[in-house]
Amino acid sequence: MEISLEDKVALVTGCGPNIGSGIALALSRYGAKVACNDVSKDAIDACTQRIERNGGEALAVPGDVTDESQVKGYIDNVIEQWGRIDILVNNAAILGGRGVLDETVEDFERAVRVAALGYFLNTKHAGRAMAERGIRGSIVCVSSSNGWNGSAGVIAYAFHKGGVNNFVRAAAMDLAPYGIRVNSFTPTAPTPDNPELLAAGAKGALQAPPQHVRKGLGAEGGDEPWRRPARWTGERQPMVPMGTTGTPTDIGHAVSWLCSDYARLITGTDIVVDGGARAKNFAYIPAGPDELAGPLPLIGLDNTPMPDASG
């Protein structure tokens, strides 16, 4: 079975350097033309350049996913350029946050607004563009393990990712009569494999996450005498049954297959690529890292040389 997205046009929102860029590159490497959306010009430029240096065709479509006029505008731009949209990947979201004791109303509303309106507006207008043209397309909404299981320190993120999961099922029912499939994809803290991102990390440009994210509760100080730790801060990979949660390239392979004609009857469901992390019983502790066989070698998609780890 050879996956082919030739002659298909994809739109990816939130094309930042980790998951969004990985999905966009994979769709391109499997043959699709890819429109890259973000509010950050730097993120869009990096994503389109990555696609182009790997032999693909990309289009920059900046815009705010919460603004209906902007969403309609960049979807119109994609159709004007390439005549159609076959694939939509809703990925734009605000990462991180604070726990329920410390999250602000403003930040909670902003995080939920980006996900809720972003996924809704893009699905609405890309779905209409598909239905009007008789295109039996594929819409993938990126969820998170935080949308299925409880995790401290990200109350707004967990709230809107949980909403994504039922939005997908409802939208799948709305669009099924048009032959348009809607599914979610759940990644779990993938290990970055974008050469540019790794190079930036080697140069110290990637900073550690804010202390409030690592602690989980999320206060500015978090040093009140009654505070309790909310999250394990040690190494997490040994807790994953297969020893790794994978990379954005692993995600890209799966999303590309889900958007292909081989998945023609898959709708209203969730695909998970996480090395078994979500399936694991809470009491199960895998064998030590040196005792795990691990997965097969990664099938790479980016031809850019990886940075020297000794750096």
More confident call, 264 vs 153: 264
Q: How far apart are CA 28 and CA 12, in angstroms?
A: 11
Q: How far apart are CA 13 and CA 23, in angstroms?
A: 10
For residue 56, CA distances in Å to 32, 197, 262 come to: 8, 20, 22
The arithmetic mean of pLDDT across residues 233-246, rounded, is 79
CB-CB contact of 26 with 259 (8 Å): no
Give percent of the chain above pLDDT 70.
89
Q: Which residues are known to be catalytic?
A: 157
More confident call, 286 vs 93: 93
Q: At what angle do helices 19-29 and 41-53 cross, to 10 degrees?
A: 30
CA atoms within 13 A on the CB side of 252: 31
**What was the pLDDT predicted at 1?**
62
Structure confidence by residue, pLDDT tens digits, 67-94: 999 999 999 999 999 999 999 999 999 9
More confident call, 19 vs 189: 19
For residue 284, CA distances in Å to 70, 204, 246, 274 come to: 47, 36, 20, 16
**Does the pLDDT at position 23 exceed 70?**
yes
Picking from 108, 187, 110, 180, the residue whose alpha carbon sits closest to that of residue 142 is 187
**Does the pLDDT at position 220 exceed 60?**
no
Angular region, 63: left φ>0, alpha ψ -120 to 50, beta rest: left
For residue 286, CA distances in Å to 145, 235, 243 come to: 19, 13, 8
**Does the pLDDT at position 222 exceed 80?**
no
The arithmetic mean of pLDDT across residues 293-298, rounded, is 87
For 54-121, what is the HEC assignment? CCCCEEECCCCCCCHHHHHHHHHHHHHHHCCCCEEEECCCCCCCCCCCCCCHHHHHHHHHHHHHHHHH
Lateral strand order in the sheet of 87-90: 58-60, 33-36, 9-12, 87-90, 138-142, 181-187, 270-273
Q: How far does Cα 84 stand from its chain's mean position?
A: 23
The arithmetic mean of pLDDT across residues 250-262, rounded, is 97
Q: What is the pTM of this model?
A: 0.89
Structure confidence by residue, pLDDT tens digits, 159-217: 999 999 999 999 999 999 999 999 999 998 888 888 887 777 655 544 444 433 344 44
Q: How far apart are CA 190 and CA 196, in angstroms?
A: 16
Widest CA span of the chain, in angstroms? 62
**What was the pLDDT predicted at 210?**
41
Q: How far apart are CA 154 and CA 169, in angstroms?
A: 24
Domains of the chain and any CATH numbers? 9-291 (3.40.50.720)
Picking from 239, 216, 222, the residue whose alpha carbon sits closest to that of residue 154 is 216
Q: 203: which DSSP letter?
A: T
